[in-house]
Amino acid sequence: MTELALHERHLAIPGRGFRLSDIPTEYHGDHSDKKDAHEQIESDQKELVKLQELLYAEAKHAVLIILQAMDTGGKDGVIAHVMGGVNPQGCVVTPFKAPTPEELAHDYLWRVHKVVPAKRMIGIFNRSHYEDVLVVRVHNLVPQETWRQRYEQINQFEKHLAENGVTILKFSLHISKVEQKARLQERLDEPTKRWKFSVGDLKERALWDDYMAAYEDVVRLTSTAWAPWHVVPADQNWYRNLVVGRVIVETLRGFNMQYPQPAEDLSKIVIPD
């Protein structure tokens, strides 16, 4: 694994067999601990701020970041720590909860398509259309025939976006059941975090194996050339943030962006007193 660059290391190669059980939830990479990785994380965060400004100024690309994880998997942490320094004018976070009656009256991708980021923007989906092959599947909310069709529908939807200027970065934040228990317990024990705890989280935890099977199929069937999955070991927050940040930075670098030239000659402009 270590022979690959960090932004490639946890990529689920499209077309290859994928087993979630083969993916570690705890992994250090080339760093021994959080302190050792601190300098690299800070450097990437500073570069991300500059690249986002360039993305906004050039206005040629849209970036969609999709975050999926089990409860406590770190979606909010990524948004806060990886994206916390970017200009909010150019970044929109969309959380996907249970669909509203209006949303249920449309096809399941309707609520997603209308919040896809425009050019110059970074859009972050906290959960996403993948709930319609995860929660929907695990809880038998629609017939199996219906959710099985959605993998290819999602692939074609994302291909349409990619062909129309949207770069899609998908991250499955992979934590262990043991780590989830520790994080849920921390929410119970810490008064300032207790508001995050829901009894419903325990009901979802009881379905852990069903969710793991569903996540495995999601990655196996929807990691494509135009929208591949990164399955990120997420038991350690610092490593999770390091990987996600690096993938985003390397993607933005790859755009080879330039600041636009002014529409008129400014060389002789004098600002009056």
Going by C-alpha positions, the residue among 211, 194, 173 that lies closest to residue 74 is 173
Q: Which whole number is the average pLDDT over 204-208?
A: 97
Give me the number of domains the chain comprises: 1
229-242: pLDDT as tens digits:
999 999 999 999 99
The answer as to whether 100 is a domain residue is yes
Place of tokens 């499209």: 14
Report the half-sphere exposure of 258 (CA within 13 A, side-chain side).
3
The boundaries of the domain holding residue 182 are 6-253
* Residue 29 pLDDT class (50, 70, 90 cuts): confident
Mean of pLDDT values over 142-156: 98
Average pLDDT, the chain: 95
Q: pLDDT band for position 224 (50/70/90)?
A: very high
Identify the pLDDT of residue 266. Answer: 84
The CATH number that applies at residue 28 is: 3.40.50.300
The answer to whether residue 135 is domain-embedded is: yes
Q: Is 40 domain-assigned?
A: yes
Residue 205 is predicted with a pLDDT of 96
On whether residue 264 sits in a domain, the answer given is: no
Residue 171 lies in a domain: yes
Q: Is the pLDDT of residue 1 over 60?
A: no
**What are the pLDDT digits (tens) for 106-116?**
999 999 999 99
CB contact at 8 A, 47 and 247? no
Mean pLDDT, to the nearest integer, of 106-132?
98
Asked if residue 266 belongs to a domain, the reply is: no
* Radius of gyration from C-alpha coordinates of the chain: 20
The pLDDT score that the predictor gives to residue 3 is: 62
Identify whether 211 is part of a domain.
yes
What percentage of the chain exceeds 70 in pLDDT? 99
Instruction: Determine, yes or no, domain membership for 272.
Output: no
